[in-house]
Chain A
């Protein structure tokens, strides 16, 4: 059953920056989708757009169907009801996403009291259960965020995201700023909780290896668009799009001597969303660009069964340029 269907989503900030330019995504309940890309490619904007959390004055177009209802057409009251209860976000808890002056237990209980209509005692009990679920002692509910380590804060963030039993969890860079051991713990925890509770998960990261490890499918974003999409392993190991190739090449593979000597990384900077290159936005950095790429925009085309990429070198166009 389709949990989330995003159709032709566009986001333009008040300063004219086109952060998201026509993204289609689809997610079944119980499945895990990774969204990868460099900073500034629009992946976090995408996450905020799903719950209409972007600043006032931002133009959002397209459709976001959550359980068949278009979030973009809802009244604010409905949007607030959907927030956290329908879909929640795991922010970068290691940084500043928890309120420094409130105890973490109160912060976890807050959405329970708000959406569940539960009493204070019930909310406290549920908070304790949630903390245990993410591997923290119940007594930590009385701690303030600054008294916890980065990994513990991230666990609190996850407990908070699960507080109202949402159907969809969006994890926005959940392991950034954590050291590698803690990163692995947090990823296992998210995987375990998602599979136990049959949640839909959208995980956003710049780390392709992390996403390939955790998710079923992977979407690679560049300059506000999905440029490659397919089964996670396949995209990571054998990308069709030259940007996907560069991104997975940026991570050395242990035990593969060839990858250590292969040229990696990508010259140049990600494009400025308010001043995008013409044609295929990737052409100025593309190692295999043709003359026509400067002029002709590319959309996702079928590359292999279940795999699509937006590159002139890939298969036949599945969508006409509109």
Chain B
């Protein structure tokens, strides 16, 4: 863009102001995303080679194994090959969607991931929708009445919960509402995703029942960030001249807020929302572990402790791709929200 503006100012000035801008912008952003994905592919390979521990020794679990057997294992997983050879192999396969075979489960990595992904998405997706809606709603209200008692309570509570470690809050909820404390009976299951042996509607209710506590934990620790970002973005717009214009037109206060202030404050919030959306795929290692949720977070934990290199690499690739894709989507949405971006 810059070099073009320098070399061909006349041509640029003649071009219509809208229309050609967006496809170009999309191409630039998509190109950037592809470069990021390649960087992730390379980083993922070398980063986890730095983890101490010999995967083959871990697999054999310290049993006395002959050198021949170890060598056989190494050959089976391709660990005897030079590093650059392993790397090209890994890249070539990754590009065709083959992420290798898990050392510990002896099944394709991609199968393990697709198995756990829906469970994670169910948990984090539900929580994401709830904490985003709650955070944006409360953040808008807080900003509009900033400095008042309601705002101070709102912000104070959000900050407190935001600072609470998720696993601690999760354990607390399990003790009080799952195990039961004093007069409070154990209302919810302590962990897992289902009790087993249920079908149809009963199964749905059962899963929902298991969802309650982990979702509450996630919403409680996450909504604060959305609230604070929404609030500060809106506060930045509060003194704007165009809001005085809107009031002078005779608009009601809530219309001034909804129609004029909020659309201008959306950009920082949307960035955060998409980063969070990307993170939903990565699951939440701590919460999934505390509630024994069979998702990607738990799987990542298991893979790291071996280290199960193909599985770790595969998960890393999936997590990073999700974040990159969501950030790119956010970039693509900005021009639709704010006409000043990307034209």
Across the interface, name the chain B residue whose C-beta is closest to A110: B249
Q: Interface extent on A, as a size class?
A: 20 to 34
Across the interface, name the chain A residue whose C-beta is closest to B339: A144
A98 at the interface (CB under 8 A from B): yes
> A-facing mask of B234-263, CB < 8 A → 1, else 0?
000000111011111111100000001001
A91 to B251, CA, bound (A): 16
Task: Name the interface residues of A142-156: CB closer than 8 Å to any CB of B.
Answer: 144, 146-147
Across the interface, name the chain B residue whose C-beta is closest to A54: B244
Shortest Cβ distance from A69 into chain B, in angstroms?
A: 15
Please determine whether A53 and B248 come into contact, CB atoms closer than 8 angstroms.
yes
Please determine whether B241 and A114 come into contact, CB atoms closer than 8 angstroms.
no
A-B contact count (CB 8 A): 70
Across the interface, name the chain A residue whose C-beta is closest to B244: A53
Contact with B250, one of A84, A92, A97, A146 (Cβ below 8 angstroms)? A84
A81 at the interface (CB under 8 A from B): yes
B337 at the interface (CB under 8 A from A): yes
B63 at the interface (CB under 8 A from A): no
Please determine whether A97 and B241 come into contact, CB atoms closer than 8 angstroms.
yes
Please determine whether B241 and A92 come into contact, CB atoms closer than 8 angstroms.
yes
Please determine whether A99 and B246 come into contact, CB atoms closer than 8 angstroms.
yes
> B-facing mask of A67-89, CB < 8 A → 1, else 0?
00000000000001111110011
A101 to B260, CA, bound (A): 8
Shortest Cβ distance from B221 into chain A, in angstroms?
A: 32
Contacts of B240 in A (CB 8 A): 96
Shortest Cβ distance from A213 into chain B, in angstroms?
A: 26
Please determine whether A100 and B339 come into contact, CB atoms closer than 8 angstroms.
yes
- Of B245, B260, B263, most A-chain CB atoms within 10 Å: B245
Shortest Cβ distance from B74 into chain A, in angstroms?
A: 60
> A-facing mask of B1-38, CB < 8 A → 1, else 0?
00000000000000001100000000000000000000
A84 to B246, CA, bound (A): 10
A38 to B88, CA, bound (A): 73
A290 at the interface (CB under 8 A from B): no
B264 at the interface (CB under 8 A from A): yes
B338 at the interface (CB under 8 A from A): yes
Please determine whether B339 and A91 come into contact, CB atoms closer than 8 angstroms.
no
> A-facing mask of B317-343, CB < 8 A → 1, else 0?
000000000000000000001111000
Please determine whether A98 and B242 come into contact, CB atoms closer than 8 angstroms.
yes
A92 to B248, CA, bound (A): 13
Contacts of A95 in B (CB 8 A): 241
Contacts of B260 in A (CB 8 A): 99, 102
Contacts of B244 in A (CB 8 A): 48, 53, 91, 97
Task: Name the interface residues of B261-308: CB closer than 8 Å to any CB of A.
Answer: 263-264
Shortest Cβ distance from A21 into chain B, in angstroms?
A: 23
Contact with A100, one of B247, B248, B249, B338 (Cβ below 8 angstroms)? B338
Contact with B245, one of A99, A101, A114 (Cβ below 8 angstroms)? A99
Contact with A81, one of B18, B245, B250 (Cβ below 8 angstroms)? B250
Please determine whether B241 and A115 come into contact, CB atoms closer than 8 angstroms.
no
Shortest Cβ distance from B303 into chain A, in angstroms?
A: 45
Contacts of A51 in B (CB 8 A): 248
Across the interface, name the chain A residue whose C-beta is closest to B252: A80
Take A53-B244, A95-B241, A147-B17 as given contacts and tell me if A100 and B264 are in contact as well, using a CB distance cutoff of 8 Å: yes
- Of B249, B260, B337, most A-chain CB atoms within 10 Å: B249
Please determine whether B245 and A91 come into contact, CB atoms closer than 8 angstroms.
yes
Contact with A99, one of B242, B247, B250, B337 (Cβ below 8 angstroms)? B242
Contacts of B250 in A (CB 8 A): 80-85, 111, 114-115
Across the interface, name the chain A residue whose C-beta is closest to B260: A99
Contacts of A110 in B (CB 8 A): 249, 251
Take A91-B241, A91-B244, A96-B241 as given contacts and tell me if A146 and B340 are in contact as well, using a CB distance cutoff of 8 Å: yes
Contacts of B251 in A (CB 8 A): 80, 110, 114
Please determine whether A53 and B241 come into contact, CB atoms closer than 8 angstroms.
no
Contacts of A96 in B (CB 8 A): 240-242
Shortest Cβ distance from B305 into chain A, in angstroms?
A: 49
- Of A88, A89, A98, A102, most B-chain CB atoms within 10 Å: A102
Shortest Cβ distance from B24 into chain A, in angstroms?
A: 17
- Of B17, B247, B252, B338, most A-chain CB atoms within 10 Å: B247
Take A96-B240, A97-B242, A98-B242 as given contacts and tell me if A88 and B248 are in contact as well, using a CB distance cutoff of 8 Å: yes
Contacts of B338 in A (CB 8 A): 100-101
Contact with A53, one of B247, B252, B264, B337 (Cβ below 8 angstroms)? B247
> A-facing mask of B146-167, CB < 8 A → 1, else 0?
0000000000000000000000
Across the interface, name the chain B residue whose C-beta is closest to A100: B340
Show the binding face of A for B, using Cβ within 8 Å. 48, 51, 53, 80-85, 88-89, 91-92, 95-102, 110-111, 114-115, 144, 146-147
- Per CB-CB distance, the 7 closest pairs between chain A and chain B, nearest first, are A83-B250, A144-B339, A99-B242, A80-B250, A96-B241, A111-B249, A97-B241
Known: A91-B245, A96-B242, A100-B264. 9 other contacts (CB 8 A): A53-B244, A80-B252, A82-B250, A89-B248, A99-B242, A99-B245, A99-B263, A101-B339, A114-B251
Q: Can you name 24 A-B pairs with beta carbons within 8 Å?
A: A48-B244, A53-B248, A80-B250, A80-B251, A83-B247, A83-B248, A84-B248, A88-B249, A89-B245, A89-B248, A91-B241, A91-B245, A96-B241, A97-B241, A99-B263, A100-B242, A100-B340, A101-B338, A101-B339, A102-B263, A110-B251, A114-B250, A144-B340, A147-B17
